[in-house]
Amino acid sequence: MPVLVMKFGGTSVANLDRIRRAAKRVGVEVAKGYDVIVIVSAMSGKTNELVGWVNETSPLFDAREYDAVVSSGENVTAGLMALTLQEMDVPARSWQGWQVPLKTNSSHSQARIEEIPTDNINQKFGEGMRVAVVAGFQGISPEGRITTLGRGGSDTTAVAFAAAFDAERCDIYTDVDGVYTTDPRICETARKLDRIAFEEMLELASLGAKVLQTRSVELAMRYKVKLRVLSSFEEQSDEAGTLVCDEEDIMENNVVNGVAYSRDEAKLTLLSVADRPGIAATIFTALSDNGVNVDMIVQNISEDGRTDMTFSCPTDQVGRAEQALADIKGAGTLNFAELDVDAGVAKVSVVGIGMRSHTGVAAKMFQVLSQEGINIKIITTSEIKISVLVDRKYMELAVQALHEAFELDKAA
């Protein structure tokens, strides 16, 4: 029988009523003829409680014990979900990560999946079991210790199971009903997308659309797993939610499919840096070593052997960036006249795989912003994305204007 993977996040299994609701949805897919692998998170709040206890007990905790403790929430949900399905006469059983076994490396608290053998679960499917409920977020190391996969680990678990079992689709049930052209809280005309390409989803995810973890989208793209994001709180049809898929599976596309934003950005400019080979490496190695996540980087044309170097990072990392740069200046490794910090900016981006074959998107974007009187501070582009930094106070306006100009309220 074809296999379907269904993943339920913490809010979708927050209590026994919600678990029942989720189980009913699983029952619908079983009735359609699927063998279903259900991936569950811990009841919402449980993992945070456990993490809190670990942090209070041991601020610099042994990650192996952290994993042993925080993985327990998923085990509870998995057992309760299996029982709920059994009550509905759906043959089901639970699996903890080590029982599958979901094999990972030994990077505790952020382990990478290495292998998911399918024989145990497939044998049970062969014996008439219809649903394997798997505790998400966890696996087992080569040393036999419990590992966890880090933030968003249950999404990643779901996609990895879909790949291993060659599932027809991986449905991610969450508290939003899909992926939108932009944030509906900022732009009233935001429209839910029926389909979106993996590449676009990756750009949107990394820009802050918190629907899916970047890592699970990357994994889905690599193994061509069709991912569907949908709400566990609404009645569903087969067309519900948003399908994240290969771009070949999308018939028609707008040139631009989404407008994303990131509110808390800072722009830092090193004025009058010596323009010679190795300088950029010196700067960004120092920043990286100090835990600064540099996003956009722009280097202006050089004059008289000196140049200005501008980059952006999250506002809460500005202090660390200043320290790192002062350190290398003090050590004589780097020479610059001044560090100019603007902590009041935001990033706005337009994303669309259609840009690959359409020209004029950048021009149109700049024109729209200019008409609204919004000054652009930095521009960066990729094959399917154009991002600009603007004053934070213009962020909402920029998103709304771009959404309208690229007609994102209308389907392709």
**Minimum distance, C-beta of residue 364 to its own copies, in the bound complex (Å):** 55
Q: Does 271 bind its own copies (CB under 8 A)?
A: no
Give yes or no for a contact between 260 and 208, defined as CB atoms under 8 angstroms apart: yes
What does the per-residue mask of binding to its own copies show for 19-58, with x meaning CB under 8 A? x------------------------------x--xx-xxx
**Minimum distance, C-beta of residue 147 to its own copies, in the bound complex (Å):** 13
3-state secondary structure 122-181: HHHHHCCCCEEEEECCEEECCCCCEEECCCCHHHHHHHHHHHHCCCCEEEEEECCCCCEC
Q: Which of 5, 13, 30, 66 binds its own copies (CB under 8 A)?
A: 66
Neighbours of 289 (CB within 10 A): 11
Q: Which of 89, 119, 127, 144 binds its own copies (CB under 8 A)?
A: 144
For residue 175, which amino acid is it?
Answer: D
Stretch that binds its own copies, among 75-83, 159-167, 207-215, 322-330 (CB under 8 A): 75-83
Q: Does 375 bind its own copies (CB under 8 A)?
A: no
Q: Which of 83, 176, 297, 362 binds its own copies (CB under 8 A)?
A: 83
Residue 49 vs 316, nearer CB to its own copies: 49
Q: Does 310 bind its own copies (CB under 8 A)?
A: no
Bridge partners of residue 158, in order along the sequence: none
**Minimum distance, C-beta of residue 323 to its own copies, in the bound complex (Å):** 29
Q: Which of 11, 44, 86, 189 binds its own copies (CB under 8 A)?
A: 86
**Minimum distance, C-beta of residue 60 to its own copies, in the bound complex (Å):** 9
Q: Does 82 bind its own copies (CB under 8 A)?
A: yes
292 vs 279: CA distance, rounded Å: 17
367 vs 361: CA distance, rounded Å: 10
Q: Is 238 helix (H, G, I), strand (E, B) or coil?
A: coil
Stretch that binds its own copies, among 76-84, 343-351, 355-363, 393-401 (CB under 8 A): 76-84
Residue in the block written with tokens 């998103």: 399
Q: Does 333 bind its own copies (CB under 8 A)?
A: no
73 vs 66: CA distance, rounded Å: 13
Q: Does 317 bind its own copies (CB under 8 A)?
A: no
343 vs 353: CA distance, rounded Å: 31
283 vs 280: CA distance, rounded Å: 5
356 vs 98: CA distance, rounded Å: 44
- Strand order of the β-sheet with 338-351 is 297-299, 306-314, 258-274, 338-351, 385-391, 378-382
Q: Does 383 bind its own copies (CB under 8 A)?
A: no
Q: Does 174 bind its own copies (CB under 8 A)?
A: no
Binding footprint of its own copies on the chain (CB under 8 A): 16, 19, 50, 53-54, 56-58, 61-62, 64-66, 68-69, 72-73, 75-76, 78-80, 82-84, 86-87, 93-94, 96, 98-99, 144-146
